[in-house]
């Protein structure tokens, strides 16, 4: 039985291989293997039910157009043509443009052919490579280099997946989702960034995993964000490795519930080359993990080694430089939990401020973990393993690990921005129509009660008229067409208008 | 698309006529005034004539309800729920110079609807013609603000409006005189009872503030061409304007980091290091409000909606045009801060090194934020019988000196 299956499988493979050879000869374009589906590798021993790979975007049914972009074409043209649910495949080549996505449900997927990547090239002239404000955006398999601003920047897009990108020497942030909820940043390689290679700003429910970040000022920064996990990343040769901050002066004031686990955080001693005045410009070179004012941060099972200042630094706002005053931001970290971490060779050439703290607390040696300023209700596990400074009031943690938590993504993606047509009719009527039409009396156009009398039971008539108005009365100015409203919105607003009673 | 041009024109005509009003004014007769029982444009009318604002942005959420985000993000919490009558009473009060000590200034003197609810001056002109320290900000969309004044020292519309009302060099009034004038007027007692109920007692300051706040909170501008773009009509902006939007929200220019959609302010204070007009000492701004030297020279991030209508720019009007403003931001971090002056500049003040065409695109984009479709009607007369709107900014005397 089993042998029979194997033979069959081999046969299928052979035919596929032969077919591929034949097809390859006919056409020079690469065949994209349909490898989106498929379950998990079973292995030889089953210990427990394997977890599905985390997703942030809604599952897609069949359908959706695939747009192909090749060298010489503009990615933006494909974005403009795409509808929600579509996929844009970008073939190897150089694309010198800023791509912006102000619609939902677009997948921007690079096609890597035998090591050749589609490359967005900013020529040190263009600002950002990719800007998105839509929900359910996926950006994968792109090489991005030489932009002045950010590699990939999200502005309030929810349910995003940014994976498998190569971002090299690109301005301020490599990957910067901001003001979004429910997103994944995984398996990217980011280097040469003058601020944070990966910067999660003012966002909720975020998963940052499996990335390699190096040669940047900050490796991974979680700022003014909640429910974030940073795991399995390789963070090396930055000025500071992994940061969890509350930065004062931003409209969202908290950071809490952040898990930093299972990362390699190694040799982050690069001299600080941050922009003057930037928050990261104050990070002392040689800092593995830096917690500034953030609450409920768990640091677990990381390998943190070879940092000249300290392995882990926990500070309040008073002990941070370059930050502003903000009475609405709590300056002290609360409930930081340092669980078991492997720490080696940290604090071997630390900064004067830490030396002074060591002197004051009569601590000798090279500090792994340093606390400066007010820190409340925090804990550490197996403190005897490390040289610590200022951790006297840290309790012993009453938990050992975060094994019960796979990720902090939402069980279901943030729902799409769709509303009930009657609600949309009302909002459109009040938001747009009332500028010129009052219920009774004349504002600019005829009163609504007059329109109601003319179009009783005929919302379609109104919908048709507003799309293409004709001047009806000499006493009123001509109405501008409202054809920019989608047909269903025009009908919804017409139906609502007929119900208005005051 | 100019559906409201006629109304704009009407408003302009009225304002031009304003200076003549004293000559034409007949004594106001109480019967001439009746409060509207209709909510202003954009408001849904609920039971009891309560007006609830409804906007297309109500379709969207925002992270932690803060009303900051991208194109399709909900607005911050708002002030609404006033009645149609309270809003209309506020409109009369707003344009009535009765509110000032000498009957010369109304709120509209510095917040002129024909000038984007600002006054077209770098620094506003006080009661006696003195140049005040700062300019009058627009009132558009103040329903959504949590902090008021350039230095963010007030936390409500009511707290804000008592500032100019009682400042000796602004409207110069005091609560007792204000109430005496209103109570002694033929029309106002009736109008206040119409707005606040027959058993609301004699006019009190809380009613005055509520009515003014009600009117101010009705000044909503969310229907610009940018908004049409944001809601999904990508033909609403042309290629240059879209390029400008992308410069605006780029992490090189970083405008959107503080002037964050949908309101185009993140409602924080920021030290940007813009220069004062020649001869004027550095205004310390929010340092005084929050007691932190780190905030020396910090000002509230203003909304950019209708920004093309409210020149000149910055807290004391140093820049005449938007071109000058974007050129300032492009000039390099701290380039206009005098040598030796300690200002802790905001981290987003950088040296973006934008190309000239990008600056032009930026200004083109800012022009797409104009929307005055819900411009309220200027009353043809006010209950005091004084000139509607009082002394306008354009007829203000040449400043004779600085306010103390």
Q: What is the pLDDT of residues A450-491, one digit of tens each?
A: 999 999 999 999 999 999 998 877 888 888 888 888 899 999
Q: Quick one: pLDDT band at residue B394, thresholds 50, 70, 90?
A: low
Domain ranges of chain B: 5-221+373-394, 225-369
Residue of A nearest to B84 (CA): A502
Using DSSP, state whether B285 is helix, strand or coil.
Answer: strand
The reply to whether B5-221+373-394 and B225-369 are identical in fold is: yes
Are B374 and A435 a contacting pair at CB < 8 A? yes
Are A277 and B290 a contacting pair at CB < 8 A? no
Rounded Cα distance between B350 and B354, Å, is 11
- Closest to A274 measured CA to CA, from A200, A217, A317, A319: A217
pLDDT beyond 70 at B67: yes
Q: Are A374 and A470 in a shared domain?
A: no
Last-in-domain residue among A346, A380, A396:
A396
Q: Which of A60-74, A202-216, B74-88, B357-371 has the lowest mean pLDDT?
A: A60-74
Interface of A with B in 203-262 (CB under 8 A): 203-204, 249-252
A172 touching chain B per CB within 8 A = yes
CB proximity list for A323: less than 8 A, separation 6 or greater: A247, A248, A249, A279, A282, A317
* Residue A469 token pair: 């108005």
Q: Quick one: pLDDT band at residue A135, thresholds 50, 70, 90?
A: very high
pLDDT beyond 80 at A57: yes
ipTM above 0.95, yes or no: no
Last-in-domain residue among A396, A431, A456:
A396
Burial class (CB in 10 A: 0-12, 13-18, 19+), A384: exposed
Bridge partners of A393? none
Q: Are A237 and A314 in a shared domain?
A: yes
Interface of A with B in 11-50 (CB under 8 A): none
B166 touching chain A per CB within 8 A = no
Q: Please state whether B98 falls in left (phi above 0), alpha (psi between -120 and 50) or beta.
A: alpha
Q: Quick one: pLDDT band at residue A23, thresholds 50, 70, 90?
A: very low
- Cβ distance B403 to B130 under 8 Å? yes
Residues B208, B213, B218: CA angle, nearest 5 degrees = 135
Greater pLDDT, A22 or A286: A286
- Closest to B399 measured CA to CA, from B174, B119, B148, B103: B119
Q: Quick one: pLDDT band at residue B395, thresholds 50, 70, 90?
A: low
- Considering chain A, what is the average pLDDT of its residues? 90
Q: Are A228 and A145 in a shared domain?
A: yes
Contact residues, chain A, for B72 at CB < 8 Å:
133-134, 156, 417
Rounded Cα distance between B140 and B250, Å, is 26
A318 touching chain B per CB within 8 A = no
- pLDDT 10s digits, A82-113: 999 999 999 999 999 999 999 999 999 999 99
Are B256 and A155 a contacting pair at CB < 8 A? yes
A305, A308, A313, A315: CA torsion to nearest 10: -170
Are A155 and B70 a contacting pair at CB < 8 A? yes
- pLDDT 10s digits, A360-369: 999 999 999 9
Q: Across residues A165-171, what is the average pLDDT?
A: 94
pLDDT beyond 80 at A12: no
Contact residues, chain B, for A430 at CB < 8 Å:
41-44, 53-55
Predicted local confidence at residue B22, as pLDDT: 45
Rounded Cα distance between A444 and B213, Å, is 26
Q: Are A326 and A450 in a shared domain?
A: no
pLDDT beyond 60 at B23: no
pLDDT beyond 90 at A141: yes
Q: Are A160 and A204 in a shared domain?
A: yes
Half-sphere exposure of B247 (CA within 13 A, CB side): 25
Are B251 and A172 a contacting pair at CB < 8 A? yes
Q: Across residues B320-339, what is the average pLDDT?
A: 96
Q: Across residues A121-134, what is the average pLDDT?
A: 97
Task: Pick from A177, A178, A251, A496 the residue to mutate for testing the B interface (most B CBs within 10 Å).
Answer: A251
Nearest to A102 among B71, B251, B271 (CB): B71
Residue A177 sits in a domain whose CATH number is 2.160.20
Residue A40 counted as domain residue? no
Q: Are A191 and A126 in a shared domain?
A: yes
Predicted local confidence at residue B25, as pLDDT: 46
Q: Give A55→chain B minimum CA distance, Å.
A: 20
Residue A170 counted as domain residue? yes
Rounded Cα distance between A265 and B12, Å, is 65
pLDDT beyond 70 at A344: yes
Are A484 and B266 a contacting pair at CB < 8 A? no
Q: Are A120 and A188 in a shared domain?
A: yes
pLDDT beyond 90 at A51: no
Q: Quick one: pLDDT band at residue B24, thresholds 50, 70, 90?
A: very low
Are B56 and A148 a contacting pair at CB < 8 A? no
Predicted local confidence at residue B21, as pLDDT: 45
- Cβ distance B58 to A429 under 8 Å? no
Q: Please state whether A362 falls in left (phi above 0), alpha (psi between -120 and 50) or beta.
A: left
Residue of B nearest to A250 (CA): B268
Predicted local confidence at residue B28, as pLDDT: 60
Look up tokens 């409202």; give the residue.
A482
Predicted local confidence at residue A30, as pLDDT: 64
- Burial letters for B52-79: b for 16+ Cβ neighbours within 10 Å, e otherwise? ebbbbbbbbbbbbebbbbbbbbbbbebb
Q: Say what percent of chain A tops pLDDT 70.
A: 89
Predicted local confidence at residue B404, as pLDDT: 40
Predicted local confidence at residue B308, as pLDDT: 98
pLDDT beyond 90 at A268: yes
Q: Which of B87-91, B334-338, B391-395 has the lowest mean pLDDT?
A: B391-395
Residue of A nearest to B47 (CA): A502
B58 touching chain A per CB within 8 A = yes
Contact residues, chain B, for A275 at CB < 8 Å:
350
pLDDT beyond 70 at A6: no
- pLDDT 10s digits, A205-250: 999 999 999 999 999 999 999 999 999 999 999 999 999 999 999 9
Q: Are A226 and A276 in a shared domain?
A: yes
Greater pLDDT, A12 or A99: A99
Predicted local confidence at residue A358, as pLDDT: 95
Residue A335 counted as domain residue? yes
Are B251 and A128 a contacting pair at CB < 8 A? yes
Nearest to B246 among A131, A252, A443 (CB): A131
**Is B5-221+373-394 CATH 2.30.300.10?**
no
CB proximity list for B338: less than 8 A, separation 6 or greater: none
- Cβ distance A199 to A154 under 8 Å? no
Cα distances (angstroms) measured from residue A84 to each of A75, A152, B35, B59: 16, 19, 48, 18
- pLDDT 10s digits, B114-161: 999 999 999 999 999 999 999 999 999 999 999 999 999 999 999 999
Note down the domain range covering A461: 421-499
Q: Across residues A420-428, what is the average pLDDT?
A: 86
Residue A429 sits in a domain whose CATH number is 1.10.760.10
Residue A189 counted as domain residue? yes
Rounded Cα distance between B265 and B385, Å, is 38
Q: Are A152 and A231 in a shared domain?
A: yes
- Closest to A284 measured CA to CA, from A228, A335, A241, A341: A241
Are A444 and B234 a contacting pair at CB < 8 A? no
Residues B113, A430, B157: CA angle, nearest 5 degrees = 45
Q: Give A136→chain B minimum CA distance, Å.
A: 13
How many domains does one find in chain A?
2
Q: Are A76 and A160 in a shared domain?
A: yes
Q: Across residues A309-332, what is the average pLDDT?
A: 93
Q: Quick one: pLDDT band at residue B100, thresholds 50, 70, 90?
A: very high
pLDDT beyond 50 at A325: yes
Please provide the size of chain A in residues. Answer: 502
Rounded Cα distance between B261 and A26, Å, is 52
Residue A17 counted as domain residue? no
Predicted local confidence at residue A393, as pLDDT: 94
Q: Are A377 and A445 in a shared domain?
A: no
- Considering chain B, what is the average pLDDT of its residues? 91
Rounded Cα distance between B19 and B250, Å, is 46
Bridge partners of A186? A163, A209
Q: Are A222 and A256 in a shared domain?
A: yes
CATH class of B225-369: mainly alpha
Predicted local confidence at residue B13, as pLDDT: 47
């Amino acid at each position: 039985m089993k042998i029979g299956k194997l033979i069959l499988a081999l046969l299928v493979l052979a035919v596929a291989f032969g077919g591929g050879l034949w097809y390859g000869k006919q056409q020079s374009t690469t065949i994209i293997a349909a490898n989106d589906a498929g379950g998990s590798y079973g292995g030889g021993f089953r210990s427990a039910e394997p977890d599905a790979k985390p997703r942030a975007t809604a599952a897609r049914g069949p359908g959706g157009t695939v747009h192909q972009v090749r060298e010489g074409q503009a990615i933006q043209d494909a974005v403009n043509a795409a509808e929600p649910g579509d996929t844009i495949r970008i073939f190897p080549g150089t694309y010198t443009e800023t791509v912006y996505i102000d619609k939902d449900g677009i997948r921007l997927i690079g096609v890597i052919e035998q090591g050749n990547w589609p490359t967005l090239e900013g020529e040190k002239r263009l600002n950002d490579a990719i800007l998105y404000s839509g929900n359910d955006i996926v950006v994968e398999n792109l090489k991005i280099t030489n932009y002045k601003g950010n590699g990939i920047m999200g502005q309030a897009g929810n349910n995003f997946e940014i994976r498998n990108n190569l971002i090299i020497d690109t301005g301020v942030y490599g990957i910067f989702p901001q003001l979004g909820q429910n997103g994944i940043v995984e398996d990217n390689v980011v280097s040469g960034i003058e601020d944070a290679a990966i910067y999660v700003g003012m966002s909720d429910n975020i998963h940052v995993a499996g990335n390699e970040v190096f040669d940047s000022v900050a490796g991974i920064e979680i700022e003014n964000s909640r429910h974030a996990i940073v795991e399995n990343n390789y963070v090396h040769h930055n000025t500071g490795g992994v940061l969890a901050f509350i930065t004062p002066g931003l409209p969202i004031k908290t950071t809490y519930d952040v898990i930093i686990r299972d990362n390699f955080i190694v040799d982050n001693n690069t001299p600080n080359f941050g922009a003057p005045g930037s928050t990261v410009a104050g990070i002392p070179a040689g800092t593995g993990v830096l917690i500034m004012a953030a609450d409920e941060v768990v640091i677990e099972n990381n390998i943190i080694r070879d940092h000249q200042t300290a392995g882990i630094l926990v500070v309040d706002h008073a002990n941070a430089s370059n930050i502003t005053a903000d009475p609405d931001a709590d300056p002290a970290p609360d409930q930081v939990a340092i669980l078991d971490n492997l720490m080696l060779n940290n604090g071997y050439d630390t900064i004067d401020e830490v030396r002074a703290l060591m002197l004051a607390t009569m601590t000798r040696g090279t500090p792994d973990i340093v606390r400066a300023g007010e820190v409340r209700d925090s804990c550490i596990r197996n403190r005897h393993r490390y040289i610590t400074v200022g951790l006297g009031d840290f309790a012993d943690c009453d938990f050992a690990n975060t094994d019960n938590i796979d990720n902090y993504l939402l069980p279901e993606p943030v729902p799409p921005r769709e509303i009930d047509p009657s609600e949309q009719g009302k909002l459109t009527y009040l938001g747009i129509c009332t500028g010129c039409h009052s219920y009774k009396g004349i504002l600019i156009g005829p009163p609504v009660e007059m329109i109601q009398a003319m179009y009783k039971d005929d919302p379609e008539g109104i919908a048709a008229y507003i799309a293409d108005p004709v001047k009806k009365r000499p006493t009123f100015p001509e109405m501008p067409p409202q054809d920019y409203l989608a047909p269903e919105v025009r009908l919804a607003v017409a139906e609502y208008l007929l119900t208005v009673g005051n | 698309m100019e559906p409201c041009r006629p109304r704009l024109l009407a408003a302009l005509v009225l304002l031009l006529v304003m200076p003549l009003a004293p000559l034409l004014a007949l004594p106001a007769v109480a019967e001439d005034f009746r409060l509207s029982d209709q909510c202003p444009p954009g408001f849904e009318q609920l039971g009891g004539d309560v007006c609830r604002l409804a906007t297309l942005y109500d379709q969207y959420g925002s992270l932690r309800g803060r009303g900051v985000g991208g194109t399709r993000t909900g607005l911050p919490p708002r002030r609404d729920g006033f009645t149609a009558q309270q809003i209309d009473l506020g409109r009369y009060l707003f344009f009535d110079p009765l509110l000032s000590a000498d009957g010369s200034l109304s709120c509209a003197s510095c917040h002129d609807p024909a000038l984007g609810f600002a006054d077209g001056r770098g620094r506003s002109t006080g009661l006696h013609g003195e140049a005040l320290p700062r300019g009058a900000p627009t009132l558009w969309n103040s329903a959504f603000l949590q902090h008021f004044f350039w230095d963010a020292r007030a936390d409500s519309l009511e707290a804000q409006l008592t500032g100019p009302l009682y400042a000796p060099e602004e409207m110069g009034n005091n609560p007792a005189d204000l109430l005496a004038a209103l109570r002694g007027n033929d029309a106002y007692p009736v109008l206040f009872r119409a707005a606040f109920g027959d058993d609301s007692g004699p006019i009190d300051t809380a009613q005055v503030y509520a009515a003014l706040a009600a009117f101010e909170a009705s000044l909503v501008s969310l229907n610009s061409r940018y908004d049409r773009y944001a809601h999904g009509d990508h033909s609403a902006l042309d290629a240059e304007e879209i390029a400008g939007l992308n410069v605006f929200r780029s992490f090189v220019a970083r405008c959107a980091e503080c002037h964050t959609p949908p309101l185009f302010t993140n409602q924080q204070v920021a030290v940007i290091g813009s220069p004062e007009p020649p001869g004027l000492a550095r205004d310390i701004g929010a340092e005084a409000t929050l007691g932190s030297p780190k905030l020396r020279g910090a000002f509230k991030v203003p909304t950019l909606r209708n920004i093309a209508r409210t020149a000149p720019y910055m807290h004391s009007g140093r820049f005449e045009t938007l071109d000058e403003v974007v050129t300032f931001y492009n000039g390099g971090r701290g380039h206009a801060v005098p040598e030796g002056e300690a200002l802790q500049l905001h981290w987003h003040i950088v040296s973006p090194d934008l190309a000239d065409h990008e600056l032009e695109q930026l200004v083109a984009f800012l022009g797409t934020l104009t929307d005055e479709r819900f411009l309220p009607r200027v009353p043809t007369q006010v209950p005091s019988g004084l000139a509607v709107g009082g002394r306008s900014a354009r007829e203000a005397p040449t400043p004779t000196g600085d306010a103390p």
